[in-house]
Amino acid sequence: MGIDMKIGLAKKGERNLITDVKGVTVGHVTIKGENINTGVTAIRPHGGNMFKEKVLGAVHVINGFGKSTGLMQVEELGTIETPIILTNTLSVGTATTGLIRYMMEENPEIGGKDGTVNPLVFECNDGGLSDIRGMHVKEEHISEALANTDADFEEGAVGAGTGMSCFGFKGGIGSASRITKLDGEEYTVGALALTNFGSIDYLRIDGKAVGPELKEALRIKSEADKGSVIIVLATDAPLNERQLKRLCRRAAAGLARVGSYYGNGSGDIAVAFSTAQTLPHNSKTEIFESKRLFENALEKLFPLVVESVEEAVLSSMLHAETTSGKGKTRYSLKEFMR
């Protein structure tokens, strides 16, 4: 369960996690050792076969200093056909191969009588606290993270977030959710953030510029806004791929609220999907019917994205435990917020 914070105006989901969107699950593998703080986080949009039952999806690159895979096909087709994997920068290749192997085991037709698969892997650089050159993430960690997915999951210095830093403090995995009504029914928007970005000079919490005060009190040195942040958005509202792209763009507003200016060396990427309907890999008909939200109704979802992203970033810092590696220590923000 998330730390109780009053961020924004909208109603929070039951768990205040991305998994308040029914069917979404998250799992981690945390890898720790001497100067090793890394891992894998897996997000499943639904519990079925993603290749056979795809979800509508979109991506938006806020700042492109990143090494993720699979974005091009999502941009072109507007569908997501694998779980989403988060890891460290130099393990993208391993994670991609591990995810492909997982999908091929589940779908023997991939690469044979059927086409190939588009693995979706995102990264941040945990080299500040972890021996990133050691390539400690292995292919089996991908299937292990996928096997661990659940509606309840840990936040903070876990999984892909184990070695991440944020605004001069310990970063990691954070999540939040918000609820609104459409035609009298409740719908949810959830966000999960992998945070490894930000300069303490600009840190803001619920609109208050706390960075300069914390910097002076803790004698933390200024650093450029670099390192990357990955935002995963989920909703059960019936959005098409273009509307999901519009949601992705609002993630930047949530990052700005905590003090990000999308620095030159930061890879800031948002990916979004809707669980309202799935698209079959094969169809008996050439015409496929689908629902979409009336465009004006998106106005209700935009602030939910902004609030969820803002709180997810702060939640990653407040849940993270103080972590040391490679002669450096990143302290948990919660130690200074009592």
Provide the angle, in degrees to the nearest 10, between the axes of the packed helices 92-106 and 139-147: 60
The one catalytic residue in 177, 228, 308, 315 is 228
For the question of residue 315 being annotated catalytic, the response is: no
For the question of residue 266 being annotated catalytic, the response is: yes
The one catalytic residue in 91, 130, 165, 266 is 266
Radius of gyration from C-alpha coordinates of the chain? 19
**Single-letter amino acid, residue 219:** R
The one catalytic residue in 268, 274, 308, 332 is 268
For the question of residue 268 being annotated catalytic, the response is: yes
The residues carrying an active-site annotation are: 228, 266, 268
